[in-house]
Amino acid sequence: MWLIRWSIEQGCRLGESLSLRWQDIDFRRQTISLARVKSDRHREELGPEIRPMTKGAQRVLMEKRATMEKVPDRKDVVFSVEERKIFSVLFGRMTRQAAIQDLTFHDLRHEATSRLARYLNPIELTRVTGHRDLKSLNRYYQPVPGDIADKTR
């Protein structure tokens, strides 16, 4: 459940979330450092991608850490999932048991992006989600029309 809550709050891709280690989290600076991102070019040319961490994501990680029996080692993965394929099967099973149809894990990224769009401008949103440009963000950016109207004068 921690991974699901994290994904709704931060909007990371599954691979990014599963590669996250406690040493990649900087609560003081409110950032995460992602060594594994969709674009290998970024990693090869610039090193780990540093993203702002949302307040909701920070709360999820602090709650998770508070429930752990011992303080995790800095090199420990944050979300322990044996295999990505197994997780995908389990996620599908959980959604069916909850009578939720046609929900994929990647849909949580869409949800996070749409929620964050209420508070962040599109450029800020790309910094949080890791989208490379506004065109790719636009597939996920599903603001509520009334929210946009409320921002006008």
At residue 75, the pLDDT reads 95
Interval 58-84 mean pLDDT? 91
Strands 31-34 and 25-26, sheet pairing? antiparallel
Interval 28-49 mean pLDDT? 76
> Who wins on pLDDT, 130 or 25?
25
Q: What percent of the chain has pLDDT over 70?
A: 92
| Domain spans, the chain | 2-151
Residue 139's φ and ψ, nearest 5 degrees, are: -65, -30
- Does 40 score more than 70 pLDDT? no
At residue 118, the pLDDT reads 84
- Residue 25: its H or E element: strand 25-26
Architecture per CATH, domain 2-151, reads as Orthogonal Bundle (1.10)
Radius of gyration of the chain (CA): 16
